[in-house]
A = this chain, B = another copy of it.
Amino acid sequence: MNHPAIAAALLLATTAVAPAVAQRPAPPVPARVDPAVARLRDAALEDTLAYDIVEGLTTEIGQRLAATEAEARARTWAVARLKALGFRNVRIETFRMPVWLRGEERAEVISPFPQKLQLVALGNSGATPAEGLTAPVTVFRTYGDLANAPAGSLKGRIAYVGNAMEPTQDGSSYGSNGAARFVGPALAASKGALAVVIRSIGTDAHRNPHTGGTNWPPGVQPIPAAALSVSDALLLERMADRGKPITLHLTLTPRFAGEGESGNVIAEVPGTDPRAGIVLIGGHLDSWDLGTGAIDDGAGVAITTAAAKRLLDGPRPRRTIRVVWFGAEEPGGYGGIDYARVHGRERHATAQESDFGADRVWRFEVNLPDSAKAVADRLQSALAPLGISRGAGIGGDGTDVGPTIALGVGSVDLNQSGLRYFDTHHTPDDTLERIDPAQLRQNVAAWTAMLAVVANASEDIGNVTPRK
């Protein structure tokens, strides 16, 4: 999971929007669950395919940084796997994008207390000279403190920007704390900073730094920008508490490497009624380059593929289910943008993605046209036995499906618990061991039930007004 876009949406969702958008109260009499839907759902609780996929992807490929040879190998792997599973129309759709590659990354406090610090460059970071740079540090405990710093006040200095992110079920603390990463470096650059180090946008207190993209508005020259592990950030703050000036030596040598190729991998479960619209699902195939991309987002492609496979193995659904393993989500959602460019004119019924780890789905939220209100009621009944409640917000979240949703396509969001997600998100520790197989199976069951209801709904599912 990337992202400023989501973050901004979450920021909105936590303020004014959520209470205001309740669609309607739940119906007093629950909708009947089609026994075929219930059977598919319950069988999916015994799923092994999703785990096999994420185990395979992390073991046989590992990290899959966008537009690199590793991501290309992953696409080849995906095509072979999807064809072997019997999916139809399996293909790769490539696109071009800018490439950013990590280099060396080291930091040490020179004074007052010499110590090495663990950090990683942020995606799109600029570089220091090869021999590094040495500069005094200005410590901002929050992004707000940085925002209040006078123009020019960071000239010749390294800005440190803290945060106090706590775990939240809905992930909203990512939005409310993430500014330090999304826009902090550019803001510091605008005030003259030589470089920026932030406290990782994460909810742990361990030694694994969290990478992630940062954004440079047009005209802003990228400066070196890195994330300290939360533990190292707390260490630096304790040094600052002692009131003595801090000098840091920082070496970051990432580089922009021109244009490269990424791509989306597409597979289908053909439907019987081409005019009923496509149900678009998926996750992203690329990952950051530190871990092996298990929770971000091996789990997402695994969950959605395993659910689609259950429909593939039964009677043909009314609607075509299209599974996309999106490329290059992390550096800026390039796969989702390219998908909408190529396929935006095809009729889609709904679009939704899984990109928030592998923990249990706890809530669903929809954006469906009036003609399909009964679909949401049936979803409510079908998902309730999995412990999934219906939320009052408007669905339609996700970096990869976002550009398609923006065209007016409906959505059924299956929200996963975010309580553990940001402990290891974007760190070297995003590996297979972070996946709880039981929770992963619950996800497959939720997506299977969702597909069984939505892909077979007899109602028309036409366009909607996208949430703001």
Contacts and interface: CB of A to CB of B under 8 A. Distances in A.
Interface of A: 55, 58-63, 70, 113-116, 118, 205-208, 231, 234-235, 238-239, 242, 291-292, 427-429, 431-433
Nearest to A241: B59
Please provide the 6 A-B residue pairs with the shortest distance between their CB atoms, ordered closest to farther: A62-B115, A205-B433, A207-B429, A207-B428, A59-B238, A231-B431
11 contacts: A59-B113, A59-B242, A60-B113, A61-B115, A62-B235, A118-B428, A206-B429, A206-B433, A207-B431, A234-B433, A235-B292
A436 to B, nearest CB: 12
Of A63, A118, A427, A428, chain B has the most CB atoms within 10 Å of the CB of A428
A238 to B, nearest CB: 5
Contacts of A231: 429, 431-433
Nearest to A294: B231
Contacts of A431: 207, 231, 235
Contacts of A62: 113-116, 235
Nearest to A205: B433
A115 B292 contact: yes
Contacts of A238: 55, 59, 432
Contact of A208 (B113, B114, B207): B207
A440 to B, nearest CB: 16
A63 B108 CA distance: 12
Nearest to A239: B59
Nearest to A113: B60
A119 to B, nearest CB: 12
A403 to B, nearest CB: 32
Given A62-B114, A62-B235, A234-B432, 19 more contacts: A55-B238, A58-B235, A59-B238, A60-B242, A62-B113, A63-B115, A63-B116, A115-B292, A206-B433, A207-B427, A207-B428, A207-B429, A208-B208, A231-B429, A231-B431, A234-B433, A235-B292, A235-B431, A235-B432
A206 B291 CA distance: 11
A235 B432 CA distance: 9
Contacts of A205: 433
A59 B113 CA distance: 7
A183 B39 CA distance: 55
A431 B116 CA distance: 13
Nearest to A290: B207
A429 B208 CA distance: 8
A74 to B, nearest CB: 11
A439 B385 CA distance: 41
A161 to B, nearest CB: 20
Contacts of A55: 238
A51 to B, nearest CB: 12
A292 B234 CA distance: 13
A166 to B, nearest CB: 15
A2 to B, nearest CB: 21
Nearest to A427: B207
A375 B242 CA distance: 44
A235 B59 CA distance: 6
A239 B60 CA distance: 7
Nearest to A289: B116
A141 B406 CA distance: 52
Contacts of A432: 231, 234-235, 238
A225 to B, nearest CB: 22
A167 to B, nearest CB: 15
A343 to B, nearest CB: 32
A433 B431 CA distance: 22
A460 B447 CA distance: 74
